[in-house]
Amino acid sequence: MTSSVLERELDIDVRYLRRAFHKAVGRSICKILAEIITNSDDSYKRLERDPTRAGHRGHGHREITVYFDRPKRLVKVSDSAEGLTFDDMDVNFTRYGRASGDRAHRYGTRSLFGKGLRDVLFTQEKGNVRSVKGKHAALSQFRYKTNDHGVEKPSIRIQPVRLTSDIRKGWGVAENGTAVEFRLRKDVSLPQHAALAAALGNFYMLRLINNNPERVVRLVTRYNEERTEVAELSYLPPQGALLYEIADRVTFEGVAYALDGSVLLADIPLKQVEAGYEDRDGGLLVTDEDENVLDLTLFGYDGNPHAARLFGTLKVTGLGALIEDKLNAEVPEELLTETREGFDRRSSFYRSLQQVVDSALKPLVESLAAATDADHSIPARLRQRHRKAFDQLNDLYRRIVGGRPMGPGPLSDDQTPPVDGLAFQPAAAVVTEGTVTPVRLLLNLDLLHPGQAVRLAPSPGLQVFPLTFDVSTAGKKGSLAWKIIRVLANDTGRFSLTAQAGDSVAGLDVTAVPRDVEVRGPMWFSPSLLHVRPGQKRSLALYVNLEVIGQGSAISIVADGSPDIRVSGDTVLVGEPSLGFLFRASLQVSGGSLGAKSRVVATFGEISALADVEVVSRNREISGQSGFFQGYRFKHLNDRWNRPAYLADDGWIEINLDEPLNKVYFGETKESAVYAVIHLPHSQLRLADLVLDEALWKMVMEAYESTLTHRVDPVTDIRLYVLERKAMVGPGVYECFVDIQGLHALMAETRDSATEAAAGQQS
């Protein structure tokens, strides 16, 4: 190891260097910290991918700590990764613009420019790097100095340091690791702790690091001697539904680069390109083959208002190697901008990539645009009613397809016949008011005989189908038989059901919860997504099934995300039943800074429940678009089967304006159809029927393969299930679509006209 102090003067014009550095990170504290955090993450990656060095990871493996002393404007970013020696610093720090070479060793890091650290330390004040590797310690200082010729030059002073316990303690490096320290310039704003944690958590370059279970990024902010705040950075992606999976390739200079990604539709509009890279929520997060984040963009649809709800990921395999090859070429070409804002839109590769991705996004955006344009022609109050109808359909869809199974599930192979002849499985059930829910009744054929009647007696307020059946009609396997019983509670509360066959008796305890409570396992939050305003307090309900988690149990509560969102208490003690055999605890959630996000987690042993919380400017009701079914739109389908309606893959129900009967009700143009929906009750009724039929057939067809019981044959069963669900959800949907008073008036007018016509014929 070299023992003398080394001072390197970068042979580059200082004005160009400062201009380039300021262009790269400027006054953005997110860009400043992202450069250092990603360097630490790169170092951890190299350790994780090199088994020969696994023993040098150190006790603090996984952690990256950002310490921010606000009064001193001092920033320190430390890790416990590889560390650097004197020679490492000379090689890595003093050759500006040299490619890192990590890819040649398959380390898969994002160090493509070899100058991210300098971009920070030469733009801020008094930058230092302290590092320990093995038995060696070294210090680098980044300064501007005037040389013997009176010319100001960037200078890096590197010196070895004798490693002692005091040095380790003073540097905060227990074993191997690096600490980067600098003072922020005075023109860099100082955000509050919660705002900075939220901004860093959402910053596009850090999202995969913040989501990596092998990494913990901790922000520590010191305000004064008495006040220090701590937060772990996290990224919570928007809630939404999958629209499209990208599986394609882009060809550039004769080489094909595979594209893999997913495009999702958020439940609510997202901040897009207009918010900038630091605040943007939407867009496709573009990565290379090693999951290095390169951009956040919707390519040609950036800024398109109809794409405001799109987000997702796009991996371009081989792109990282291409970027480095271009940097090392005889005539270098940068595919990424030095401003850390993604692709250089002028590069030929980007234009080739955009062409492929835009072709995938085009039908999605056009579909959203068509629906939005039609929707805007309808008065806001009527749109709200229509969205309420789709809320009901999505709620039913979740219950029988995507949510809690409507059936009791398959019998286990080790299930034994009930010793008393009859037994419900399970002996207690949670149902939703107004929703038909199947339960299983087990029968012991050694104690019951074929032809024997089983009678069911529900308590008041509970309906049962069937009320009686013959043992011979039950499914059977050896001496074990079973029958699916359907129960319907007309209201919330606790009910009971008794089954009896001769001397054999079984009981079922039923708890019915409100419609707005989504049942999810033995413990769940309601709602699962909560919006609060800055300074506002709202209640978040935690439901606990006492048949699974007993009274007296302690459930831990943790808010994982922005510390600016606070939850009352860190423990819930399970008490007496609140509703049937359910215990309900009410947590108070308070919101701080606008835009803060957090995930509330309740844990009891292996059982957990989740709820996402976001601080917004006003409470947003996610309506009509918070599930599979998005809405309806009028189209000329040119369908050879002449179907009256069609459910598209993106969840929109398309009403066919070419179908003869639809022409009678809606006319032949979108304008006439919108007029009919607004003003003509009989057209509203037709629309409600079409929407109901398409939605119900979709959900029943899906559920029939998983959760719905097979009765007679698929055609008969599905038709009956559709009719049953239509009777259940139909009244609410019709009420949202149809002007009931107008329809009654129209019917009365029609009857009067018919009566007058009949009277005229008789006279």
Q: Which tens digit of pLDDT belongs to each residue from 286-310?
A: 999 888 889 999 999 988 888 888 9
CA 315 to chain CA mean position, Å: 18
Q: What gap in Å lies between CA 112 and CA 98, rounded to an integer? A: 9
What is the arithmetic mean of pLDDT over 357-379? 80
Question: pLDDT band at 620, cuts 50/70/90?
Answer: very low
| Res 62 pLDDT > 70 | yes
Residue in this structure with the two tokens 């210090």, named with its chain if needed: 139
Q: What is the mean pLDDT of residues 205-219?
A: 88
712: left (phi over 0), alpha (psi -120 to 50) or beta: alpha
Q: How confident is the model at residue 258 (pLDDT cuts 50, 70, 90)?
A: very high
pTM over 0.85: no
Return the pLDDT at 401. 64
What are the structural domains of the chain? Answer: 6-232 (3.30.565.10), 240-376 (3.30.230), 422-513 (2.60.40.10), 534-615 (2.60.40.2310), 631-751 (no CATH)
Among 118-132, 486-500, 549-563, name the one with the lowest average pLDDT.
118-132
Residues 6+ apart with CB under 8 A from 105: none
As a whole number, mean pLDDT of residues 372-376 equals 61
Residue 693 host element (H or E): helix 681-704
Q: Which of the two residues, 473 and 104, has the higher pLDDT score?
A: 473
Q: pLDDT-based confidence at 666, cuts 50/70/90?
A: very high
**Averaged pLDDT of the chain:** 82
Q: In whole angstroms, give the CA distance from residue 533 to residue 561.
A: 17
Q: Where are the beta strands (DSSP E) in 467-606?
A: 468-470, 475-477, 480-489, 493-501, 504-513, 523-526, 529-532, 537-545, 554-561, 566-567, 571-573, 582-590, 597-604
Average pLDDT over residues 247-264: 93
Name the least confident of 25-39, 88-102, 180-194, 483-497: 88-102
